[in-house]
Amino acid sequence: MPKKLIVQKFGGSSVANVDRIQKVAQRVVSYKKKGFNLVVVVSALGDTTDELIELANKINSSPSEREMDMLLSTGEQISVALLAMAIHKLGVEAISFTGAQVGIITDTAHTKARIIKINAEKIQEALKRDKVVIVAGFQGISLNQDITTLGRGGSDLTAVALAKELKAYECEIYTDVKGIYTTDPRIEPKAKKITKITYDEMLEMASLGAQVMQVRSIEVAKKFNVPIHVRSSFKKDPGTMIIKEVKNMEEVVVSAITLNKAGAKITVCNVFDRPGIAARIFNELADKGISVDMIVQNVSHLRQTDISFTVNKPEAHKAIKIINKLKKQVGIKDVLQDSDIARISIVGVGMKSHPGVAGKMFEVLAKARINIEMISTSDISISCIVQKKLAEKAVRALHNKFGLAK
């Protein structure tokens, strides 16, 4: 019988130092000895990617995206080579590859490239020779032969895409927590580990700020039905399975609380309340590559209104500049920015069929004397923008009220 293939991905904190790299090597070798074929995807050591970004910004405050990819991809190249050496030391054959070497072909959208296809022959060949194959996460090569990266947290995507391509039995994501929790366990120690969660809920959680899995990796897993097992690099216990369906899932109304501090709120004040104004503002932002998240338009007074929206913090400055340029043409009185905001969300498939969830959420926030600045909803989530300094208190209060605490 052919050996079962597992794709294992180790995040930055799992390979942060020599000791941890050796521990990862031991785990990989123990699976190899159990008789599995292994493809191992690795992130850059510890905070290397952040450090490289900081370094680039010291040299040029708006570095070319092509050169940024060239720079950031080096982080993962270091970790794959070191892990291969650590596995060799344990007497097992292993070989490391960059994304380009294993044929991860992407489009040309530097810093957020999409995978177009994977030419996996090189991996297949190495597996046939019974080697552990180690692949640099987060990177590929574009149709123009340039090195690209897949967006922050992109090693998750490398792992899921390889698991799909190689028809792996499972994709294991090893990280510094024991699985997916009802909220970030660093914010709420009473958070509970979830045994099974659906792609849809995980996708919603990831989009709303639970950084434990990259959003696009879950999109791909959902599309191709790749089972994911998120678990700890440091402990043996099973973690969380991310799968298509979970029995009785609609009985749980709210399954998780998320927090996202990465946004900034922009308010365009006193614009005319007439057709075409919002289109003009948001088309201009989109043309300049700025994605907008929540949008709220207030009731108009004297045919004038305020429009507030959120963008990723690093893009706020650019967005304000664009709107300032539109001021005269569109008739905007003022533009305000608030970077001290956070988005808190409640997520759950069961919300679809249970009324009263929004009211309960707002009541919890009111009791904690937390003001809601913006609200938005989806089929399976409700989000509120609140002041950043109150956000963690809000998460804990909601986690408790919706019965998620241990």
**Looking at beta carbons only, is 15 or 404 nearer to ligand ASP?**
15
Report if residue 153 touches Mg ion, rule: CB under 5 A.
Answer: yes
Report if residue 154 touches Mg ion, rule: CB under 5 A.
Answer: no
Shortest spacing between CB 156 and ligand ADP, in angstroms: 7
154 is in the binding site of which of ligand ASP, ligand ADP, Mg ion, none (Cβ under 5 to 8 A by kind)?
ligand ASP
Q: How far is CA 35 from the centre of its chain?
A: 32
The answer to whether the beta carbons of residues 273 and 300 sit under 8 Å apart is yes
Supply 137's token pair. 């996460």
Q: Tell me the C-alpha distance between 132 and 96, whole Å.
A: 9
Which stretches within 209-308 are classed as H helix? 215-224, 277-287
Shortest spacing between CB 156 and Mg ion, in angstroms: 6
Q: Tell me the C-alpha distance between 239 and 404, whole Å.
A: 18
Supply 201's token pair. 């809920």
For residue 350, what is the DSSP state?
Answer: G
Shortest spacing between CB 164 and ligand ASP, in angstroms: 17
**Looking at beta carbons only, is 81 or 187 nearer to ligand ADP?**
187
Which residues would be at the binding site for ligand ASP (CB under 6 A)?
Answer: 11-12, 43-44, 49, 75, 137-138, 152-156
Q: How far is CA 15 from the centre of its chain?
A: 19
Q: How far is CA 20 from the centre of its chain?
A: 23
Number of residues located near Mg ion, criterion CB under 5 A: 2
152 is in the binding site of which of ligand ASP, Mg ion, ligand ADP, none (Cβ under 5 to 8 A by kind)?
ligand ASP
Report if residue 337 touches ligand ADP, rule: CB under 6 A.
Answer: no
Q: Which residues sit opposite 376 in a β-bridge?
A: 383
User: In the window 10-39, what residues touch Mg ion (CB under 5 A)?
Assistant: 11
User: In the window 144-173, what residues touch ligand ADP (CB under 6 A)?
Assistant: 153
Shortest spacing between CB 211 and Mg ion, in angstroms: 6
Residue 175: name the closest of 166, 185, 167 by CA: 185
Residue 380: name the closest of 347, 344, 358 by CA: 347
Shortest spacing between CB 216 and ligand ASP, in angstroms: 11
Report if residue 137 touches ligand ADP, rule: CB under 6 A.
Answer: no
Report if residue 181 touches ligand ADP, rule: CB under 6 A.
Answer: yes
Q: Tell me the C-alpha distance between 299 and 297, whole Å.
A: 7
Which positions touch ligand ADP (CB under 6 A)? Answer: 11-14, 43, 153, 175-177, 180-181, 183-184, 186, 210-212, 256
